Structure 1
């Protein structure tokens, strides 16, 4: 009968495993990239009189303001090719109509693990709108013309970075005779693009304008978010000002009201899982930051103070644009607080040191899976004495289990008397009945913080371990690690004393099954951490149990 029961349980477990595998294949997160539509100019089919999405400066006071619409219509685009720029880390398209960046692909980051296509961060097509706009508005700004966005000229339509830097100049001459050069400067290995407006006033009147930079995005889902269960990374805008160095404004917030703030320096970003785009205006001025929603699009950006260029003079205004991964090293160098877009949640004070430690271990071992194992060992070593006390308490409860069972038989009907006798036994043998909870309680903040480190660290995206695990940031495709984790939990329970309450004992037996199911869709790196932690705990607890049983451990 026992053999038949074992066979039935094994068969049921095998069938359940195969069903979960099939469910994951049918309904799990897809690793294949979506078919990308062709990127096109936003103005090719624009109708005259359509509401403009550009900001507008107030000429009366010189203070920047962003209304719901601008005054001028958008004209039909002139025939001109998109400008294609390639660097070692960026592959982007610039629309000469307005000089906007309308596509950014990242060759160093693939769209999916099995794909050879780069991840596309910014795009403007039938699937999605996500672009970076900039220009000059105000009294004489060419982007404030009643004819709509200006159409720039470029020397060529294809540019490739061959040295350390690359300048891409877009030029135009206004009706007043003012020469405007919009210069994009790219650097090797950099996701930051320097955007300069060089105004040469060859007219006989002062030129007054306001620089704006904004990010326009629709409300579509985050294409880089691939996990199907668990916590999700933030999707939305972030503003950094002198008053608040990191303020989230998500799409729901923009639906309800517009955000507006004035601040010296600062920046504005659009954040998603692993990647972000951001405008960082030149330091040393008072800027207006604002969000708005118009024509079904979400816009966040900045406006500079009004500037004036005298006749015969030349002046340059500038801002930096970043489009790339959440790389802490680059973000820290670009602007103060920009690295906060790597959002570790309220446990950032644990997660940040964990990330730095994880990164250091990886620099030594060269594999992110081994780095996770290394950080597990270090965390376990840091908590060694605390765990030892807890394991000693549980080992004593296991050793005196027969005595506790005897007390239960003697005073089973008198719960008060039984509790008193049990407390006497605990005090005499120095047993802490809650000691076994301490390791779990202490490690939960570390576990949650490490979860966010794995979620937010772009270095772990598509990072392989060994064998079939090719992406530690995604779930184990065959659920081997979660099952092994469940087995180790079961072994731990075998080493622990059985709770005296039958109902509690049944609940404890169910925990390995519940945790295994819960961990099925967690990132493989996180399950690896918990599995190694369990193995180390089993080893420590086994040794302590043997020492307690032999009477070799002193309190």
Structure 2
């Protein structure tokens, strides 16, 4: 009987729960926790008029914006010391974004860089879509304001108001005169008598910034796993990412268009490359009760990849400055470069000083390398004798070579290992100079000496007369002549062509990179010459207890049999006898 009573009680409880859920269905869960700043809020001041009575939904009156009157789209201009932006009042879409600190070329009257082109307008840069419908095309919009002009310390705002698909959209942009950031307060208001579910998307779009293969345009995003870049092939197929997205962007080495959602919202990134237009859309799904509003804060950054402006941007946006595999080394090197520039006012001189500092840091390692190379050079006659004697017995040849190295305490890899340690620094500086916006249109020697011909007026462009690549190749050839020749004749011939290969590679590189490599070669030649001069004709020191190979003794006997040059005093004595 007790079991029957329990069963009856359970069945009755389920019946009551089912009937209750039918009569009073629960509201769908909100995306964010109640303590989040994005939680659904009541409309300010008049929210009570908009909130329907849950017990009497038939009395609901849809909310309306006071004096909402749709108008034709018109251009609104915002001018700051850093940029001039043009928006369309229909949706707040960006039509132009002109960087007032960056020109398209080094000509004094060259037009400024515009990061938004007519080709990208149909993709809706800085527009929003509702349920994948472009609000700037399908929605109705109104605007009540005027053009803005900001000084360095000014802060001003624009507000665009629209409606589409039963929701009202309020977009408020805030600008500062000393920043490339645009703050957005986005409000979505449910003006219907039923719950609204929809997807809101913030959009950025632009064509490739340049056709330079050394400076490609990429879509980047930053999440809990760090920074990632997507290749064009993936973008053409359509790319989607949604795990812990912090920001997403379109950029190249020099410029960036980025969108940053605040408060760690659950967003989805969709990126594509279509008709050579890069487009990103960051979306999230909203559930809004009748008469309620969902508020969201976002940041747009449109401008140069300049650490001074990005360091204070939200969500670690400064991580967009990325120099490749050795990024952790390249960043402090570029910071040092900017330090030298702040004292010299010339980035070419700053590159020379930075190269000198790096050379001083690695001086001890390079010193060991050049000393080892000098020792190998002195062993060349003995090594040639061993190769000739055992040319048909590779194993015996290697054994005798190793015995020779041990006899004179020479490490055959001693000339390479110190250089290998420096390679990551060289590559990091190479990548840093390649991707530093600071070098764009930076001048070293503006005119060829004693002429009015423009020369190294842009360190981010190639040398127009190929002077620096050719001189760099000559320094490489001189370095090879100072180093011991390879034992293999074929390898020696290949090494002779290496400077030509480097000239061919570097001839199209930015002149700032070539200047760094040239300066490093000149300093290396100077150090190598100093080592050779210090060593002079000092004989090799034989290790204690080590027997010299027979081939070494033969070489020494030949050297002894050679007539020695008379000294200066001996020559003077002979002259006296003749007199």
TM-score range, shorter chain: 0.7 to 0.9
Query: What residue number does 2:205 align with?
Result: 216
Offset from partner CA, 1:469-523 (integer Å, 9 cap, x none)? 1111222111111111111112112211222322222222222222222221122
Indicate conservation of the 8 Å contact 1:179/1:201, yes or no: yes
Query: What residue number does 2:256 align with?
Result: 276
The farther-off stretch of 518-527 and 427-436 is 427-436
Q: Which has the larger radius of gyration?
A: 2
Offset from partner CA, 1:28-85 (integer Å, 9 cap, x none)? xxxxxxxxxxxxxxxxxxxxxxxxxxxxxxx988779xxxxxxxxxxxx964421122
Quote the Cα distance in structure 2 between the aligned partners of 1:377 and 1:545.
21
Indicate conservation of the 8 Å contact 1:485/1:530, yes or no: yes
Quote the Cα distance in structure 2 between the aligned partners of 1:130 and 1:105.
18
Query: What residue number does 2:350 align with?
Result: 371
Indicate conservation of the 8 Å contact 2:352/2:516, yes or no: yes
Query: What residue number does 1:96 align with?
Result: 89
Query: What residue number does 1:389 align with?
Result: 368
Q: How many residues align?
A: 470
Q: Residue 247 in 1 paired to residue 228 in 2?
A: yes
Q: Residue 506 in 1 paired to residue 488 in 2?
A: no
Aligned counterpart for 1:121 among listed residues 95, 115, 118: 115
Q: Residue 236 in 1 paired to residue 225 in 2?
A: no
Offset from partner CA, 1:302-346 (integer Å, 9 cap, x none)? 2345264875x8875321111111122322321233222222222
Quote the Cα distance in structure 2 between the aligned partners of 1:130 and 1:456.
28
Q: Residue 105 in 1 paired to residue 98 in 2?
A: yes
TM-score relative to the length of structure 1 = 0.74
Change (3 A) 1:552 1:166: farther
Query: What residue number does 1:29 align with?
Result: none
SS in structure 1 at match of 2:493 = helix
User: What is the CA-CA distance between 1:418 and the residue it aligns to?
Assistant: 4.4
Q: Residue 446 in 1 paired to residue 433 in 2?
A: no
TM-score relative to the length of structure 2 = 0.71
Quote the Cα distance in structure 1 between the aligned partners of 2:275 and 2:510.
38
User: What is the CA-CA distance between 1:541 and the residue it aligns to?
Assistant: 1.3
Q: After TM superposition, list the pairs within 5 Å mapping 1:447-462 onto structure 2.
A: 447-462=426-441
Query: What residue number does 2:325 align with?
Result: 346
Query: What residue number does 1:259 align with?
Result: 240
User: What is the CA-CA distance between 1:441 and the residue it aligns to?
Assistant: 2.9
Quote the Cα distance in structure 2 between the aligned partners of 1:515 and 1:174.
61
Q: Residue 86 in 1 paired to residue 87 in 2?
A: no
Indicate conservation of the 8 Å contact 2:139/2:162, yes or no: no
SS in structure 2 at match of 1:113 = coil
Change (3 A) 1:296 1:371: closer
Q: After TM superposition, list the pairs within 5 Å mapping 1:297-312 onto structure 2.
A: 299-304=279-284, 306=286, 308=288
Quote the Cα distance in structure 2 between the aligned partners of 1:520 and 1:353.
27
User: What is the CA-CA distance between 1:283 and the residue it aligns to?
Assistant: 1.7
Change (3 A) 1:144 1:428: same
Quote the Cα distance in structure 2 between the aligned partners of 1:85 and 1:210.
29
Q: CA RMSD in A?
A: 3.7
Quote the Cα distance in structure 1 between the aligned partners of 2:162 and 2:374.
84
Offset from partner CA, 1:106-159 (integer Å, 9 cap, x none)? 11111122252111112224x886652334737xx99769x8122222323x33
Quote the Cα distance in structure 2 between the aligned partners of 1:540 and 1:430.
23
SS in structure 1 at match of 2:117 = strand
Q: Residue 484 in 1 paired to residue 471 in 2?
A: yes
Offset from partner CA, 1:380-436 (integer Å, 9 cap, x none)? 222222211121111112233334344455555655554444333222222223333
Indicate conservation of the 8 Å contact 1:344/1:453, yes or no: yes
Query: What residue number does 1:35 align with?
Result: none
- Unaligned residue ranges in structure 1 (runs of 5+): 1-58, 65-76
